[in-house]
Structure 1
Amino acid sequence: MANSKYEYVRTFEQSDILLPNTWIVVRIDGRGFHKLSDRYAFEKPNDRRALDLMNVAAVEVLKDLPDLAIAYGVSDEYSFIFHPSCELFERRSAKLVTTIVSTFTAHYVYQWSNYFPDTPLQSPYLPSFDGRAVVYPTTRNLRDYMSWRQVDCHINNLYNTTFWNMVLKGGMSNTDAERELQGTVSSDKNEILFKRFGINYNNEENIYKKGSVVFRQYQLEETKAESVSKTSQDLGEEETAAPENVSKSQQEKIRKLRRKAQVVVEHVDITKDDFWEQRPWILSGKPGKLPAEV
């Protein structure tokens, strides 16, 4: 293409290439979802339809982008993780974030009527999401990030479950419920739920307590006892090693193998080693063996 006198404006563009050989986390959040949930009468403290809608949109994102290793979602938030070896869009932050946000939003809107058939979307109450990219240098950092989000899910859900039962079943005002819960710990909230409302929090569905983990499913590996004792330093050293040089043809072959795997949603504990040891392909970036057909 011939140059023009206007082409100088390209010099104003700044490089936003993310640090190489690091985990990339693109976290998206719903914009104005408090008003959205009120407008479409989301159930309190959790609306299973809304969570299932978030999950189906996340599944489609993983299907569209085989470079993604795993995703984790809770409420109106989702984190999508790229392996350190990922070279999609030359690791340009803006391209990765906008692709994730736009693809997720498109599927969320497209699937809306399947989960809220009686409440069609109406302007100006339309769902939208913002996003950001953060890089983590080691596997331990990445796992700690995901553990942080899951622990946060439990803390928020316990509070919301207690709060909304006090309001909806206990007849308390929002202000009074907030005042009574101020300064309480987990055991206090569990006691309120059990003594006042007969609710054993341990029996609540895992999707509410643990959030949703989305990944490609291969044959599970047996847990190795010796790997349980790995320290943070061990995990960090594994990920600071130089990445393997993978040709474009090899990268495309890996993408094709990933597309053959089923993308699943599970509500399990990701703070422990077992989850990761049984699914080594998530951290290794290398596809596992497809489950044998029954």
Structure 2
Amino acid sequence: MANSKYEYVREFEQSDALLKNTWIVVRIDGRGFHKFSAKYEFEKPTDKRAIDLMNGAAAAVMKELPDVVLGYGCSDEFSFVFHKDCALFERRSSKLMTTVASTFTAYYVLLWPEYFPGVRLSVPLPTFDGRTVCYPSVENLRDYLSWRQVDCHINNLYNTTFWALIQRSGIDAREAEQRLSGTLSSDKNEILFQLGINYNNEPEMFKKGTVLYRNFELQTLNPATGRKASSTLTEASLAAPTREVQKPSKSAAEREKKTKAKAGIAVQHIDLIKDEFWECRPWILTGKVGRLME
């Protein structure tokens, strides 16, 4: 209906383009997942099937959207990082957020039978909301991801102790909450030890969450220094003025896209707070493709 008299309504649309040259994080969260997990009787304190399903849906999102350079998730949330040079959907917040949330939800439902065989989905169905946040520097981005991983550890330690008290001590939820009120990490570890649980032996997936990235060949570190032999990635090396950056040709962009597709998605439960994670995987922050695994 081009050039109709009704076209004026487009003037009510507002631009929601995100700030250029900033790292974009789209974070999705399960809506009403407390009731959802109760309905489908998720195992307590953590159901590995549910975590594997979240990871499977997140990996599918990264395959669908090559612009996503990294994903991090725990419990019923996942954060997807778009490189600061990303131009997908002209960096429109609503487009990025809804595409990630809807794609994730679609794959969550599609993959459900694979992880919960014989359990049929019904209302309430799993849904996820989303938000977009811009981070101006690598330091800010890494601090965000570190915050999420630390939060994962804190919540998992609490939940592990909470359910251990209920399942092994025979007390109810209210008593467990009172018992844990004001306790420190050391106190919770002591409670678990008394109940026959060594928290250090808990699965890394539960303690550290899940990190997803393109599965290129890792950079080796110098055994003497613990750092790469070549210059390490710094804020300065990643902050070249936009006007000096030459856009890759269409053919080069297509080659990069194909290389990313061949790389596949690595699913790891590792520490992303320390420098080593980033130095061994420089393609995440540079936005360039790495060397394919042989």
TM-score range, shorter chain: over 0.9
Unaligned segments of structure 1, at least 5 residues:
229-233
Spell out, residue by residue over 1:167-200, the C-alpha distance to the aligned partner (whole angstroms, 9 max, x if none): 12211111111011011000000000001x1111
**Equivalent residues in 2 for 1:113-132 (5 A)?**
113-123=113-123, 125-132=124-131
Q: Deviations over 1:183-228 (max 9, x none)?
A: 1000000000001x11110110000000000111111101254858
Q: Which residue of structure 2 lines up, in the alignment, with residue 223 of structure 1? A: 221
CA contact (8 A) 2:74 2:210 kept: yes
Shift of 1:235: 3.8
Q: 1:223-262 counterparts in 2 under 5 A?
A: 223=221, 225=225, 235-243=234-242, 244-247=245-248, 249=250, 250-262=252-264
2:23 aligned partner: 23
Whole-angstrom distance in 2 between the partners of 1:19 and 1:251:
23
Identity %: 58
Structure 1 position 209 matched with structure 2 position 219 = no
Distance between the aligned counterparts of 2:237 and 2:96, measured in 1?
25
Deviations 1:98-144 (A, max 9, x none): 11001100000001011111321012x20000000000011111111
Quick check: 1:181 aligned with 2:183? no
Amino acid at match of 2:207: K
Please give the per-residue CA displacement for 1:207-265, whole angstroms capped at 9, x wherever unaligned.
Answer: 0000000111111101254858xxxxx84434443232314613333222211102110
The code of the aligned residue for 1:285 comes to G
**Structure 1 match to 2:41:** 41
Residue of structure 2 in register with 1:194 after alignment: 193
Separation of aligned partners in 1, 2:255 and 2:104: 25
Q: Give the aligned partner of residue 231 of structure 1.
A: none
Q: Kindly tell me the number of residue pairs found equivalent between the two proteins.
A: 285
Q: Is the 8 A contact 1:67 1:255 kept in 2?
A: no
Letter in 1 for 2:199: Y
SS state at 1:161 partner: helix
Point out where structure 2 has 5 or more consecutive residues left out of the alignment.
Answer: none
Q: Distance in 2 between matches of 1:264 and 1:236?
A: 25
Segments of 4+ in structure 1 off by > 4 A? none
Report what 1:52 is aligned to. Answer: 52
What is the rounded CA distance, in whole Å, between the counterparts of 2:93 and 2:257 in structure 1?
Answer: 21
